[in-house]
Structure 1
């Protein structure tokens, strides 16, 4: 299921920030390693366990698990930033294909993220046909879309304001 960020507007697309949450995710990752090691080094100091090497190893493992989760999120956000730049570089083509050639209504167009973490601009024309522009860090793609009933309902709820928009955070 797609996660919709906002109604389509060129300014809102420009204002999307994937760098700040990405840096925050990376900071959380390094903090996880430091806190894991520091926390497990405190155990022998408090006479909880005499095997400090085992505690240190456990702290490093826990820290690396936290770091890998945060680093994965950082990489996704970095790719989304590249996708946003690719989309902004071709904004005239996107608006031409969506609004002029396909007849998509600008007020029925949403900016969102696909489940594969690609940036998308999805819109519906007056004939209830859906068109999407998908951007990843490698390519831009325009195509008509077949929406399932649940996806169309989700799209409609997002347009009507019945469903809250997705907030881009460091835990992507």
Structure 2
């Protein structure tokens, strides 16, 4: 299915206030499903900010909370933010739990830039890529100077730096 068809489907969902159904449709359309996903829930909307969260204990099924105005934003941004949260769903699954929050966030922002786990996700704008890169650097820094986690992710950090340096 092409991107324009997907947008048509999303508009139909939006017209009928079916935000959760639209989000489920994106999971299916872009190969984001995971067995540790418990479903979507609604959270409070924050004007001019697309904020999603993944809720649930480590090792337990996860619920992704989305705002009712999610589909007021640009589709590539929405897809990247949903992919970020769906990576958290995977990271919190019993068979592959990533315990450290800084590691989880770094991995998720890296995914938003390079789409290694979710190759069907389109690139975000250069503006948003810069934001994702800065957030990744923030979590990398929080891992602790010279820590084992920083050493583990040094190559990915360098990839992000290279990407950010060539953006206009």
Q: TM-score, normalised by structure 1?
A: 0.23
Which of the pair has the greater relative contact order for Cα pairs under 8 Å at 6+ separation?
A: 1
Greater share of strand residues, 1 or 2? 1
- Report the structure number with the largest CA radius of gyration: 1
